Amino acid sequence: MIVAGIDVGSTSCKVGIYTAAGNPVAQARRPTGDDCDALVAGVLADLEECVERAGAAPAAVGITSMAESGVALDDRLRPMHPLLRWDDPRGAEEARLIEAEVGRAALFARTGVHLGAKTPLARWSWLRRHRPEVLGSMRVWVNAADLVATALLGAPVTDRTLAGRTGALDQRAGEYDPELLAASGVRPGQLPRIADGIAGRVSGAHGGLRGGTPVVIAGHDHLVAAYAAGARAPGATVDSLGTAEAVVTVSARPPDAGTVDGGLSWNRHADGRHWALVSGFPGSGRLLEWAAERLLGAARPEAFRELVRDVRRPTGIVVEPYLSGRGAPAPDPGRRLTMRGVTAAHGAAELAVAVLEGACLHVRWMAEAHGPLGECVVLGGPARNQTWMAIKAEVMPWPVRRCAAVDAAGVGAALLAGRAIGFEPPVLPSERLPRDGARAARYQKIYTDEFLREATR
């Protein structure tokens, strides 16, 4: 049996055909653009190419994507505007107004999210104020994964983890909250049906798929990747790297409201059974791009990896890695990037490594807010940077493993599709990262005596 996985990410759309064990048979990727018609057409073209290369049609297809990014569809289910991405700043004021009306703690207890510009609930309110013609004639709002699924199924459908990121879902009831929707100007009928398991079957022939092929909306990419890497029982933790970085810890129950001021969020896990506590570092990937552009004049990952490879660590430079504010575990929108301890002896390579150190120190701080951890699995494309992973293994106080799959989210989407049709999905293989004890001790001192002292000042 082979299954297909589609991952609509912030930077690129990945399509793959995989065996039931998660081994790749054919893969393709292209940049994620804002033109929704082009995005769907590109994904379906890549899917058709992968099916042709695989020599057989998949038994099911799973779709995952970044959360929050979405688009309004008209009566013909056509996009009414370019994709509104999660990192679009519009909606910040609306988020503040809704939180003031409903109450920050009450919102968090009900929905599991803190409202921000990226939250669809705030984005809909922004559309009501600035583009009322869109919201007034919108048939349905869909997330990026839902957009692709709609093209395959001919009807709008979403999953519980993506619905949970809208800021409009009552998590415990499992339904959209009428009071919150009223605060944004959206009616319950303007949101897609929430599906568990198989969302529907392919209508006609699309992307090389047979008509009737089961389609599964696997959900929020960080949660799907975490599931694929083995985060399937309470306490399991994953550090998911991409354009944004997220620490995901599986829980048997939702957290208490005491985490409301920590910038964390909670949601159903991709398995549909457990819950997931999520801390986000939205600027992680952008931070590395910024460092590469400033220090190398180009954002080429291979050149950056070469630059940082042989630098002596720790560098002695303490970086607060916040290009545009800080989220979890201590939200501060005014926080900015700082470097302390820079001397004339430090060159571009040392500065680049210091940025990696700062990012790892911050992620440790995020992860510690989740409670005692026994092990952490790191995954995602950036995990191929050997220096970054070496620093992460030495900064974290618990063992760190690296998932072997480059696109764990895409593989996870395929595995969850296989699970929906009766196949038990395996855990993707991982390797334990080596740890230099002497360097780890020095990083421990830097973390407690310098990084935390400055970050909490």
Cβ atoms of residues 12 and 53 within 8 Å: no
Structural domain contains residue 412: no
Dist CA 125 CA 102 (whole Å):
14
Structural domain contains residue 367: yes
Length of the chain as a residue count: 457
Structural domain contains residue 414: no
Give me 110's structure tokens.
């009900």
Q: What are phi and psi of 349, to 5 degrees?
A: -65, -45
Dist CA 308 CA 324 (whole Å):
24
Indicate if 37 and 162 belong to the same structural domain. Answer: yes
| Amino acid identity, position 177 | D
Indicate if 127 and 22 belong to the same structural domain. Answer: yes
Measured in whole angstroms, the distance separating CA 189 from the mean position of its chain's CA atoms is 27
Cβ atoms of residues 255 and 266 within 8 Å: yes
Residues 6+ apart with CB under 8 A from 75: 137, 139
Cis peptide bond upstream of 314, omega within 30: yes
Structural domain contains residue 418: no
Domain that holds residue 305: 230-404+427-457
Q: How many other C-beta atoms are found inside a 10 Å radius of the C-beta of residue 55?
A: 10
The pLDDT of residue 292 is: 85
The pLDDT of residue 243 is: 84
β-bridge mates for residue 169, sequence order: 176
Indicate if 255 and 217 belong to the same structural domain. Answer: no
Number of domains in the chain: 2
- 307: CATH: 3.30.420.40
The pLDDT of residue 298 is: 67
Tell me which H or E stretch contains 276. Answer: strand 275-281
Indicate if 190 and 277 belong to the same structural domain. Answer: no
Q: Is 11 exposed, middle or buried (0-12, 13-18, 19+ CB in 10 A)?
A: middle
Domain-ending residue, one of 170, 188, 221: 221
Tell me the HSE value of 10 on the side-chain side, using a 13 A CA sphere: 22
Indicate if 212 and 290 belong to the same structural domain. Answer: no
The pLDDT of residue 413 is: 98
| Amino acid identity, position 2 | I
Structural domain contains residue 236: yes
Cβ atoms of residues 414 and 5 within 8 Å: yes
* Axis crossing angle, helix 301-308 with helix 348-368, rounded to the nearest 10: 100
Dist CA 363 CA 269 (whole Å):
21
Per-residue burial over 24-52, b if 16 or more Cβ lie within 10 Å, else e, is: bbbbbbeebeeebeebbebbbebbbbbbe
Indicate if 266 and 390 belong to the same structural domain. Answer: yes
Cβ atoms of residues 298 and 275 within 8 Å: no
Domain-ending residue, one of 187, 221, 255: 221
Q: What are phi and psi of 287, to 5 degrees?
A: -60, -45
Q: What are phi and psi of 8, to 5 degrees?
A: -90, 95
Cβ atoms of residues 166 and 119 within 8 Å: yes
Indicate if 210 and 284 belong to the same structural domain. Answer: no
Dist CA 163 CA 159 (whole Å):
6
Structural domain contains residue 42: yes
Tell me how far apart the terminal alpha carbons of the chain are, to the nearest angstrom: 56
The pLDDT of residue 302 is: 79
Dist CA 266 CA 114 (whole Å):
10
User: How is residue 234 annotated by DSSP?
Assistant: T
Give me 298's structure tokens.
């180009």
Structural domain contains residue 54: yes
Dist CA 173 CA 110 (whole Å):
9
How open is the CA angle 175-179-180, to the nearest 5 degrees?
75
Dist CA 124 CA 80 (whole Å):
14
The pLDDT of residue 301 is: 73
Q: How many other C-beta atoms are found inside a 10 Å radius of the C-beta of residue 285?
A: 20
Dist CA 84 CA 250 (whole Å):
29
Indicate if 118 and 238 belong to the same structural domain. Answer: no
**pLDDT by residue for the chain (457 residues), tens digit each?**
999 999 999 999 999 999 999 999 999 999 999 999 999 999 999 999 999 999 999 999 999 999 999 999 999 999 999 999 999 999 999 999 999 999 988 999 999 999 999 999 999 999 999 999 999 999 999 999 999 999 999 999 999 999 999 999 999 999 999 999 999 999 999 999 999 999 999 998 889 999 999 999 999 999 999 999 999 999 999 999 988 899 999 999 987 766 777 889 999 999 999 999 999 998 888 888 888 888 877 667 778 888 899 999 999 999 999 998 999 999 998 999 999 999 999 999 999 999 999 999 999 999 999 988 889 999 998 899 999 999 999 999 999 999 999 899 999 999 999 999 999 999 999 999 999 999 999 999 999 999 999 999 8
Indicate if 130 and 215 belong to the same structural domain. Answer: yes
